[in-house]
Amino acid sequence: MTLARLQRDFHDHIVRGSPAVEAAVPEAARRGLAVYRHAYRANLIACLKDTFEKTAAWLGDEAFEAAALEHIAEQPPTSWTLSDFGDGFDRTLAGLYPADPEVAELAWLDLRLRRAFDGPDATISDVAALADVDWELAVLDLAPTLSLASITSNVVALWTAMDDQETPPPVVLLESPLGVAVWREALSPRFRTLRAAEYGSLRRAREGASFGELCADLATGFPGEDEAAAAFAGGLLAGWLSEGIVIGVKA
C-alpha cells in the first residue's frame, strides 16, 4: 500500500469510521485507532469552545458539543490554521436554532471579536493631516478589523452580562433590527450597537461611498434641516475617528 493510500484510509477512518485502514494496522495495535478518532473531535470541539466562549456558556456543554459535532461533520477543517475552523459556525448554529436568533448572533459576535483580536493592524492617520481633506469627495478608510452585522436580538446585552459573569437577561427580540460593529482599537477588540442611520452609513462607507454621499443619504432623515443633518454627520464622523472605526481617508 502506498503512503498516499494509507493516509487517505487513515483519514477516512478518523473522519467517517471507514474500516479500510484496519488492514494496515496489526490487530494488537488497532485500539490506537480509537485514540485518533477521539482526539480529532476533541481537539476541534476544544477549538470551537475557545473561540465561541460565550456561545458555549449560553448553550451549555451538551448542546454546544452537539452543534460542534454537526459543524465538524458538515465542514471538516481544511486550513493550516485551526483558527479558521470557526468560520461558518454561526451559520451552522443558525440552521440548528432557527427560532433562536440570539444563538447565531452570539456566535457571530464571539467570532468577530476573535478575528479582531489578531487581525491586521491599522495605520491611523495623523488628525492634523485630515484638516485639509475635501470631505465631500473623501472616502473613509475604515479599521481593517471592522465587521458589521444586523442583529435582531439583545445579543449585546447577553454577551456583556456573561462577560461580566452576571446572569444574562431574558432574550428579547428587537422590534426593528439594530446594527453592531466589531473592530480593534490599538490592541483591544471593541463592539457596540449602531442605530439604523449609523449602520447604513458605515455599510455605504465600506462599499466605497464618499463622505459627501453619506451626508446626502443622512440628509433624507432630516428633511428641510440641512444644518441638523450636517451636524449629525459630523458627529458620527468625529465619533468614528475617536473610536478608531475610521482611521483616515483613502488616498
H helix or E strand, kind and range, residue 229: helix 226-243
DSSP-H helix ranges across 129-223: 155-163, 196-206, 211-219
**Which one of 54-62, 99-107, 118-126, 161-169 is the stretch in contact with another protein (CB under 8 A)?**
118-126
- Which of 7, 66, 95, 172 contacts another protein by CB under 8 A? 7
Q: Is 187 in the site for another protein (CB under 8 A)?
A: yes
For residues 119 and 116, give the distance between their C-alpha atoms in angstroms, rounded to a whole number. Answer: 5
**For residues 179 and 244, which CB has a smaller minimum distance to another protein in the complex?**
244
Q: Which of 64, 113, 120 is nearest to 89 (CA)?
A: 64
Question: Which one of residues 57, 89, 90, 119 is an interface residue with another protein (CB under 8 A)?
Answer: 119
Q: How far is CA 73 from the centre of its chain?
A: 21
For 96-107, b/e burial (b = at least 16 CB within 10 A) is: bbeebbbbbbbb
20 lies in the site for another protein, by CB under 8 A: no
Binding mask 67-86 for another protein (x = CB under 8 A): ---------xxxxxxxx-x-
N-terminal to C-terminal alpha carbon distance within the chain: 59
Nearer to another protein, 151 or 246 (CB): 246
With binding defined as CB under 8 A, does residue 251 bind another protein? Answer: no
C-alpha cell at 55: 456561545
Of 36-44, 59-67, 196-204, 218-226: span binding another protein (CB under 8 A): 36-44
Asked whether position 17 contacts another protein by CB under 8 A, the answer is no
**For another protein, which is the closer residue by CB, 101 or 119?**
119
Shortest reach from residue 7's CB to another protein, in Å: 4
